[in-house]
Structure 1
């Protein structure tokens, strides 16, 4: 089981950012200055810990127009397949509801469309490139 929490300390923020750097910068070759952007200063960040308190998942949440926008969802490679991506998304959806919003939005890498569809998201855009990776926009009513 994964314990997911909004970051509250510098250590937790560093752990979340380290996961993003491994997944996006190292694995997917996203330029560092595209991955770590100006929105990080104003977003709600989440980190997910295993029972051994090892940080293995991270994400950020922003509010744009009428949507809670799920971004930078990352799970360390060796921990994928354990349901941690689903867990962190559900925690973010709870945070969206707590802030009084009823719609979620995300830009999904195209290989992950089926994953997000299983969680109730639907594609609402044509494919587009972001950081050299094909994406689509997906939304969900919460």
Structure 2
């Protein structure tokens, strides 16, 4: 596995391809909600298994936090610790950019994954793209 901070258009397209596969095709999120106006301002990350993109995520600044978004792993690669490695890479890169606190909107089904990484629920439940979410925060 190799996790890279996106630097080229082909890498960005690889990240988008995983996001579309997981969020649009698998979870039925409308494409116009998945690829949004924040993509241009975010740092993007892509996980490769050899040359195959299998995971993605992005990080941007929001209200003084590093806002972690669009974390996804291809279904064939889940439950193998790859999401944890991706989050560690994103947080390390965020720390290099001066972030000492991170927040994210977790799908309710993923709360325990983020709790194991030190995130705490900081909101009530809400819908995003028709999927139940909560906001979670972590200070490093």
TM-score, normalised with respect to structure 1 = 0.96
Cα distance between partner residues in 1 of 2:102 and 2:45: 16
Cα distance between partner residues in 1 of 2:54 and 2:99: 27
Cα distance between partner residues in 1 of 2:105 and 2:99: 18
**1:71 corresponds to:** 69
Deviation, structure 1 residue 138: 0.2
1:85 equivalent in alignment to 2:77: no
The farther-off stretch of 127-136 and 95-104 is 95-104
Cα distance between partner residues in 2 of 1:141 and 1:12: 29
Task: Give the 3-state SS of the residue equivalent to 1:38 in structure 2.
Answer: coil
Structure 1: tracts of 5 or more residues without a match: none
Cα distance between partner residues in 2 of 1:101 and 1:13: 23
Deviation, structure 1 residue 53: 2.5
**2:20 corresponds to:** 21
**2:109 corresponds to:** 111
Task: Give the 3-state SS of the residue equivalent to 1:82 in structure 2.
Answer: coil
Cα distance between partner residues in 1 of 2:101 and 2:94: 8
1:33 equivalent in alignment to 2:32: yes
Cα distance between partner residues in 2 of 1:117 and 1:101: 19
TM-score, normalised with respect to structure 2 = 0.98
Render the CA deviation track for 1:15-63: whole Å, top value 9, x for unaligned.
100000000000000000000000001110000112x232110001001
Structure 1 runs (4+) greater than 6 angstroms displaced? none
Cα distance between partner residues in 2 of 1:15 and 1:129: 27
Task: Give the 3-state SS of the residue equivalent to 2:38 in structure 1.
Answer: helix
Task: Give the 3-state SS of the residue equivalent to 1:100 in structure 2.
Answer: coil
Render the CA deviation track for 1:67-89: whole Å, top value 9, x for unaligned.
00000001000010111111111
